[in-house]
Amino acid sequence: MAKETAQQTKSTQPPAHQSPAVENGLAGPEAAAAWTPAFSPGELAAGVCQLPANPTTQRLRQARVLTMQHTLGNHFVQRQLVQRQAAGGGTTAEAVNKARAQQARAQKILLAVYGNIRPIVSYNIEVLDDAALKSRYDDMKIRKQHTNPRTGQPWQRGDAAGVFQTLDGFADQELQIIYVLNDKDAGEEARVSLIAHEMLHMNAAPGFAAAVGPDIDEGTTETLTIKACKAAKITAQPAYGSQVDLVQRIGAIVGEGTLEQAYFNGPSILSSTFDAVRGEGMFARLHKYLTEQSDMEKALSVLRAPRSPDWVKEKIKLIEDHLNSWWVSDDDMAQIKTICATATPEELAEIRAAIAPQVTKLSDHGQRAELRLALGV
Ligand SMILES: [Zn+2]
């Protein structure tokens, strides 16, 4: 989570499952062969623990971290990273242990609320002082070839210090590392909510951030964080106020369940449900206002427009489109279930009346049972 002032860079990140080694042109055994045989585990760690200054060695370090994760395991890598921080990063082993406990708590509160949608994975965590944290952020932005919105130029070393007043933490999805600020003043609960936010980014569906843009991405991430914290009676650190407001308005239109499905399982259900309620092409319009035009007011005007009087009919039509596709896939079924889940009881009764007679169109009896359940038959 970054308290960003002007940071509006477009999310062009590749899917989270794409490994940095693949991105760097080093894949699997090749990446390992590039250096593994020459090093003992101790030497390996030494290679990782250096803080290389130039991009080539930085890329090599990323490949090493990944190969270490594959060959020696996550636990080994974590231990090495902890040792490096304790030795040179200015943070103590105590701070790291504390962060590790907060990380476990964050994972637990997320699993309690979203575990049935997605098994929340924890990933590695690094605790860094302000300068080191911003330096890692620069590394990530340079690697992704992002543009600095302030200068309009390719991101350069040192830019994070100019863009952020405060950088509390961020998630590097390619390296699969959560970075958090070594903030001695931050309260326990604020830290847990910060880590939960970053952990959610790491567990989001590949392509969600790129498809919806940074405002909806951050707003959804923080909305999910707030919900999990509330369930665990933890006070979340306030963040992304206007984005949370935006996403809550979107949630009122498409339903909370749709947002959660889109976040964890893929963004298409969000745009299709939004269009079903608001009209064809409306999600694309909202997206354009938010990204290309950076105009929050225009975006909100799309959300304030009255709900179409025919919106239940539109939902019924959307369900019929899925049912009439030549092959009803699991994805079709998931979308139908989500549409039903967003309806009020009165609306569901209307949907049921229209769709229940069509259940027999499904040749798979498992799918027929799923559809009946979704309709409340
Ligand atoms: Zn975030």
**Integer Cα distance of 332 and 338 in angstroms:** 10
Centroid of ligand 1 to alpha carbon of 359 (angstroms) = 41
Centroid of ligand 1 to alpha carbon of 242 (angstroms) = 13
Quick: pLDDT tens for 247-302. 999 998 888 889 999 999 999 999 999 988 888 899 999 999 999 998 998 898 88
Centroid of ligand 1 to alpha carbon of 170 (angstroms) = 7
Centroid of ligand 1 to alpha carbon of 58 (angstroms) = 24
Residue 68: pLDDT band with limits 50, 70, 90: low
In 74-190, DSSP assigns E strands to 124-128, 164-167, 169-172, 177-181
Residue 69: pLDDT band with limits 50, 70, 90: low
Contact 128, 168 (CB under 8 A): no
Residue 75: pLDDT band with limits 50, 70, 90: low
Non-local (6+) Cβ contacts of 217 within 8 A are 11, 204, 208, 209
Res 307: pLDDT:
62
Res 78: pLDDT:
53
Centroid of ligand 1 to alpha carbon of 232 (angstroms) = 20
Centroid of ligand 1 to alpha carbon of 199 (angstroms) = 9
Centroid of ligand 1 to alpha carbon of 145 (angstroms) = 19
If one compares 274 and 326, the residue with the highest pLDDT of the two is 274
End-to-end CA distance of the chain: 43
In 7-48, DSSP assigns E strands to none
State yes or no: pLDDT of 364 exceeds 50. yes
In the chain, DSSP assigns E strands to 2-4, 124-128, 164-167, 169-172, 177-181
User: How many percent of the chain have pLDDT more than 70?
Assistant: 75
State yes or no: pLDDT of 354 exceeds 60. yes
Q: Which of 306, 223, 323, 227 is nearest to 270 (CA)?
A: 223
State yes or no: pLDDT of 58 exceeds 70. no
Centroid of ligand 1 to alpha carbon of 198 (angstroms) = 6
Centroid of ligand 1 to alpha carbon of 4 (angstroms) = 10
Backbone angles phi, psi at 6, to 5 degrees: -125, 15
Residue 161: pLDDT band with limits 50, 70, 90: very high
Centroid of ligand 1 to alpha carbon of 221 (angstroms) = 6
If one compares 59 and 36, the residue with the highest pLDDT of the two is 59
Centroid of ligand 1 to alpha carbon of 5 (angstroms) = 13
The whole-number average pLDDT for the span 216-240 is 95
Centroid of ligand 1 to alpha carbon of 283 (angstroms) = 22
Res 340: pLDDT:
85
State yes or no: pLDDT of 328 exceeds 60. yes
Centroid of ligand 1 to alpha carbon of 111 (angstroms) = 18
Centroid of ligand 1 to alpha carbon of 345 (angstroms) = 34
Centroid of ligand 1 to alpha carbon of 26 (angstroms) = 29
What is the distance of C-alpha 136 from the center of its chain?
Answer: 19
Centroid of ligand 1 to alpha carbon of 182 (angstroms) = 17
Q: What is the average pLDDT value for the chain, to the nearest integer?
A: 78
Centroid of ligand 1 to alpha carbon of 219 (angstroms) = 8
Centroid of ligand 1 to alpha carbon of 279 (angstroms) = 29
State yes or no: pLDDT of 39 exceeds 70. no
Residue 21: pLDDT band with limits 50, 70, 90: very low
State yes or no: pLDDT of 162 exceeds 60. yes
Res 73: pLDDT:
54
Res 278: pLDDT:
82
Res 86: pLDDT:
41
Res 184: pLDDT:
80
What pTM does this model have?
A: 0.63
User: How many percent of the chain have pLDDT more than 90?
Assistant: 46
Res 67: pLDDT:
57
Centroid of ligand 1 to alpha carbon of 218 (angstroms) = 5
